[in-house]
């Protein structure tokens, strides 16, 4: 837990008591069986627990224990390869006469340009929905292949 502030709202000598109240606050968000700490004694110089809890984030919810990764790692390599190959083929067909020369004089076919709307039309809704639920979508998958595709905003 990280608390950030420029000044204290209490005297430094009350830090152990406040720290205990922080623990109680966080543990109160857990199930009864997990929370076995008793409430600290009330100090007259401090606010009540309910006032303090209201000052702290009242809608606090901890992160899930297992964080869902949404960066295309959960998608099978077959699907990734199929998507990349489909887009590459469509780009190469778009402008089959677009040849570039490299620094060593070798020629290569650069292909054309497509909008995201045109790329989306290459795939069925089920595949697009699966990509969206697993990795953030088709655009994320293509961005992860920036060594192949060049995107513009």
Residue 3 above 70 pLDDT? no
Residue 19: the pLDDT is 86
Cα 84 from Cα 9, distance rounded (Å):
56
Residue 38: the pLDDT is 46
Q: Report in angstroms the alpha-carbon separations of 107 from 14, 85, 110, 128.
A: 74, 21, 9, 34
Give the pLDDT confidence of 64-88 residue by residue, as tens digits: 777 666 677 778 889 999 999 999 9
Q: Report in angstroms the alpha-carbon separations of 25 from 18, 19, 56.
A: 10, 10, 9
Q: Report domain extents, the chain.
A: 12-55, 77-143
Cα 81 from Cα 144, distance rounded (Å):
12
Cα 97 from Cα 94, distance rounded (Å):
9
112 in Cβ contact with 95 (< 8 Å): yes
Lowest mean pLDDT among 20-29, 59-68, 119-128: 59-68
Among 6, 19, 141, 147, which Cα is nearest to 81's?
Answer: 141
90 in Cβ contact with 119 (< 8 Å): yes
Give the pLDDT confidence of 80-125 residue by residue, as tens digits: 999 999 999 999 888 777 788 878 888 877 788 899 999 999 999 9
């Amino acid at each position: 837990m990280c608390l950030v502030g420029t000044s204290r709202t209490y005297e430094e000598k009350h830090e152990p008591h406040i720290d205990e109240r922080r623990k109680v606050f966080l543990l109160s968000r857990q199930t009864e069986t997990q929370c076995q700490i008793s409430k600290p004694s009330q100090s007259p110089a401090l606010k009540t627990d309910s006032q303090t809890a209201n000052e702290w984030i009242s809608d606090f919810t901890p992160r899930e224990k297992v964080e869902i990764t949404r960066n295309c790692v959960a998608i099978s390599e077959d699907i990734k390869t199929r998507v990349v190959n489909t887009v590459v083929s469509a780009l190469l067909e778009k402008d089959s006469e677009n040849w570039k020369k490299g620094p060593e004089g070798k020629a290569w076919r650069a292909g054309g340009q497509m909008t995201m709307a045109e790329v989306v039309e290459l795939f069925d809704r089920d595949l697009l929905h699966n990509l969206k639920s697993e990795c953030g979508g088709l655009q994320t998958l293509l961005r992860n292949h920036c060594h192949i595709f060049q995107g513009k905003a």
